[in-house]
Amino acid sequence: EKNTKGSITWKTPSNIALVKYWGKQEPQIPENASISFTLDACFTLTTLEYSKSKSTQGGSFEVYFEGEKKDDFKPKIQQFFERIEQYVPFLNYFDFVIKSRNSFPHSSGIASSASGMSALALCVMSIEKALNPEMTDEYFNKKASFLARLGSGSACRSIEGELIVWGKHNKIKESSNLFGVKFPYKIHNNFKNYHDTILLVDEGEKQVSSTVGHKLMHNHPFAKQRFKQANDNISKISEVLKNGDLKQFIEIVESEALSLHAMMMTSNPYFILMKPNTLKIINKIWEFRTKTKSKICFTLDAGANVHVLFPEHEKEQVNNFIINELIQFCQEKHYICDRIGFGAKQL
């Protein structure tokens, strides 16, 4: 009786991939391994209210986003519930009200699926934990990541910090296609408190969703090479994260960003998500690096915004550069100062 009604809140970060996931098989099995920085300032706050359902047909749910009822979010969440049902059958006995908000503007072009879906997965796991209090933290996190993956692939990398690997890889023996794992080696001090300033070049909705993008890898002429390249880059970046070689870090991370977009430009149909200002920012970053020997670099996700990455000890110099020379290329000069984070928190 005591578990028939309640409310759970999780604050869950977004993440930015250093080696990209682009291409999958059903059910959400990645074609290659990926690795990401967990973020801190970009997060979703989700409250799941649950009560025992009066219906015998299974529970119903309502969705509120930033205080307003959001029926257009329901199909994606409905699909998520259907996919996870077999792993969390108790869901059918409850009715839910989901209340969610993001720390970043909704239409900022920042993908909220990673933080949003991982938050929901964690709320579901908290119900399971209430029903089964002996479960270990390790089991909890693993299963939360497993469930999050079924909502959105990259969401499985948003449970813990600071670096998460998803996808089976021979250099990382604990890795799995089914959930994200913490990078298992000691991370070099150069990456402690690493910064990610996100330049909001285009705050509109993307013209091509990542769902469509992943599908276009199925008949892609360069798919096989791309999946091999990504897996090779996981091997390389694993060494770099241990030895702190920032020059090699830059080469891998920027090449990954451009390779991701090269896949979009060479698929059938082809498309371009970068904008003129994306390229202007990239060129400015390259110029600045030549002039100053700074270890600033960029990465991109499936959109026009630029993630500017740099080490803690360069923060003053690089922040000045960003403010003086880069934010002029942002929509309404909007940008978000973020950094590497430590994972989700229950509130």
List residues near ligand PMV by CB under 6 A: 17, 20-22, 34, 111, 113, 152-154, 210, 214, 260, 301-302
Instruction: Report the alpha-carbon distance of residue 110 to residue 202 in Å, rounded.
Output: 10
Collapse the DSSP code of 52 into the 3-class scheme (helix H, G, I; strand E, B; otherwise coil) and give the result: strand
Name residue 158's amino acid: S
Shortest Å, Cβ 62 to ligand PMV: 24
Closer by beta carbon to ligand PMV, 8 or else 28: 28
Q: Between 127 and 233, whose beta carbon lies closer to ligand PMV?
A: 233
Nearest residue to 339 via CA among 198, 245, 243: 198
Closest approach, Cβ 116 to ligand PMV, in A, equals 10
By the 10 Å C-beta count (0-12 exposed, 13-18 middle, 19+ buried), 18 is classed as buried
Would you say 210 or 259 has its CB closer to ligand PMV? Answer: 210
Q: Which among 61, 47, 70, 71 has a CA at the least distance from the CA of 91?
A: 61
Distance of closest approach, residue 213 Cβ to ligand PMV, in angstroms: 7
Residue nearer to ligand PMV on the CB measure, 103 or 152: 152
| C-alpha–C-alpha distance, residues 183 and 32, integer Å | 16
Between vectors from CA 36 to CA 98 and to CA 263, what angle results, nearest 5°?
100
CB of 77 to ligand PMV, least distance (A): 15
Strands 94-102 vs 61-65: parallel, antiparallel or unpaired: parallel
Shortest Å, Cβ 153 to ligand PMV: 4
**Shortest reach from residue 143's CB to ligand PMV, in Å:** 18
Closer residue to ligand PMV, CB minimum distance, 167 or 311: 167
| Cα–Cα dist 332/105, whole Å | 13
Residues with Cβ < 8 Å from 3, sequence gap 6 or more?
Answer: 127, 130, 131
The DSSP call for residue 205 is P
Of 177, 121, 133, 187, whose CA–CA distance to 342 is shortest? Answer: 187
Instruction: Please state the closest distance from residue 23 (CB atom) to ligand PMV, in A.
Output: 9
Helix (H) or strand (E) holding 25: strand 24-25
Q: State which residue, 303 or 311, has the beta carbon closest to ligand PMV.
A: 303
94 pairs with which residues across the strands?
Answer: 52
CB of 20 or CB of 169, closer to ligand PMV? 20
Nearer to ligand PMV by Cβ, of 34 and 197: the residue is: 34
* Distance separating alpha carbons of residues 157 and 181, to the nearest angstrom: 8
Residue number with CB closer to ligand PMV (155 or 326) = 155
Inter-CA distances, 287 with 195, 201, 307, 325, Å: 20, 19, 17, 11
Element housing 63 (H / E) = strand 61-65
Report the nearest approach of ligand PMV to the CB of residue 149 (Å).
Answer: 9
User: From the CB of 20, what's the least distance to ligand PMV, in Å?
Assistant: 4
What is the Cα–Cα distance from 91 to 114, expressed in whole angstroms?
A: 21
